Structure 1
């Protein structure tokens, strides 16, 4: 099993550490769709008991990253076109409103940090970094809204689709288009045009959804 284990035998937050390690491995594709999560093996890797492992897996199941199958136990969840469409429909409702609310609160420092994220995304030739760099750009802009509950919902939605979006960028050569769309969103934010930033964000999400749904069978 491909994980970065930590000796947490004397750590009070063992469940949280296991949860974050498994979550990261799933999102980044180190744990593949359908791969079983064997509690004994994971507990051994982290030098802990099965109890925090079980708790971590339950949290992952609540987020849709893990599912329990008969006779197999917990396995990494896949994503159907219908589920992907539902997630992106939710994002298209929430994220434009978040950025619309964020634009009036954006300082020059926030915009500069977002530009640095955009440039890092565009400059990277390592597909393993694209998912996080993409999220860094959007998160930097959204954070100015102060809508923490909305931001948590967006994070959970992105966790569910992140590994597929990364694969999509590789297979569809979508980096240039994503960069151009990111640049347009940032420029709208820079000029204080909240309505335009919201509309561009909605279109950006719709474009990604169309490509992902069309190619999801090839992304597994």
Structure 2
């Protein structure tokens, strides 16, 4: 199993550490669709008991990243085209509204940080960095709205599709298009145009959805 192990035998938040490590491995594609999550093996890797491992897997199942199969136990979940469409439909409603509310409150520091993410994304030739930089760019702008519950929902939605979005950026050469769209969104935020930022964000999400559905068809 491709998973970075940590000795957490003396750590109080063992379940959280296991959860974070498994979540990261799933999102980044180190744990593939259908790969079993064997509690004994994971417990040994983290030098802990099965109890925090079971709790971590249960949390992953709540987020849709893991499912329980008969005779196999917990395995990494796949993503159907229908599920992807539903997730992106939600994002296309939620994220434009979040950025609309963020723009009037946008600080110079947030704009500068988002631009750093944007520049790093455009200059990176390593596909493994694109997913994190993409999420950091959007999250930096969205946080200015001060809507933490909305952010939690967006994060969960992104977790569900993240590994597929990373594949889509590589297979469809989508990084160049994403970069151009990021620039336009950032410029709208910098200009204080909330309606334009919202419209561009919605177009960005629906375009990514179309590209992802094509990727899922190829992977299927």
Alignment of 1:37-52 (within 5 A): 37-52=37-52
> Aligned Cα RMSD in Å?
0.7
Q: What are the Cα deviations for residues 145-180 of structure 1, in whole angstroms up to 9, with x where unaligned? A: 000000000000000000000000100011110000
> What is residue 155 of structure 1 aligned with on the other side?
155
Shift of 1:86: 0.1
Is there any run of 5+ residues in structure 2 with no aligned partner, and where?
none
Contact 1:164-1:219 at 8 Å conserved across structures: no
Contact 2:110-2:141 at 8 Å conserved across structures: yes
The number of aligned residues is: 220
How far apart, in 1, do the equivalents of 2:45 and 2:173 lie?
A: 37
Give the match's secondary structure for 2:88: helix
Shift of 1:217: 3.1
Give the match's secondary structure for 1:68: strand
Shift of 1:121: 0.7
Q: What are the Cα deviations for residues 176-202 of structure 1, in whole angstroms up to 9, with x where unaligned? A: 100000000000000000000000000
How far apart, in 2, do the equivalents of 1:106 and 1:219 lie?
A: 39
> What is residue 24 of structure 1 aligned with on the other side?
24
> What is residue 33 of structure 1 aligned with on the other side?
33
Give the match's secondary structure for 1:212: helix
> What is residue 130 of structure 2 aligned with on the other side?
130
Q: TM-score, normalised by structure 1?
A: 0.99
Shift of 1:109: 1.3
How far apart, in 2, do the equivalents of 1:87 and 1:219 lie?
A: 19
> What is residue 14 of structure 2 aligned with on the other side?
14
Contact 1:168-1:219 at 8 Å conserved across structures: no
Shift of 1:35: 0.1
How far apart, in 1, do the equivalents of 2:60 and 2:5 lie?
A: 17
How far apart, in 2, do the equivalents of 1:206 and 1:217 lie?
A: 17
How far apart, in 2, do the equivalents of 1:212 and 1:107 lie?
A: 32
Contact 2:9-2:48 at 8 Å conserved across structures: yes
> What is residue 142 of structure 1 aligned with on the other side?
142
How far apart, in 2, do the equivalents of 1:18 and 1:64 lie?
A: 16
> What is residue 178 of structure 1 aligned with on the other side?
178
How far apart, in 2, do the equivalents of 1:129 and 1:38 lie?
A: 28
Q: What are the Cα deviations for residues 9-35 of structure 1, in whole angstroms up to 9, with x where unaligned? A: 111100000000000000000000000
> What is residue 199 of structure 2 aligned with on the other side?
199
Contact 2:167-2:215 at 8 Å conserved across structures: no
Q: What are the Cα deviations for residues 117-154 of structure 1, in whole angstroms up to 9, with x where unaligned? A: 10011111111111101000000000000000000000
Q: What are the Cα deviations for residues 84-103 of structure 1, in whole angstroms up to 9, with x where unaligned? A: 00000000010000000000
Q: TM-score, normalised by structure 2?
A: 0.99
Contact 1:106-1:144 at 8 Å conserved across structures: yes
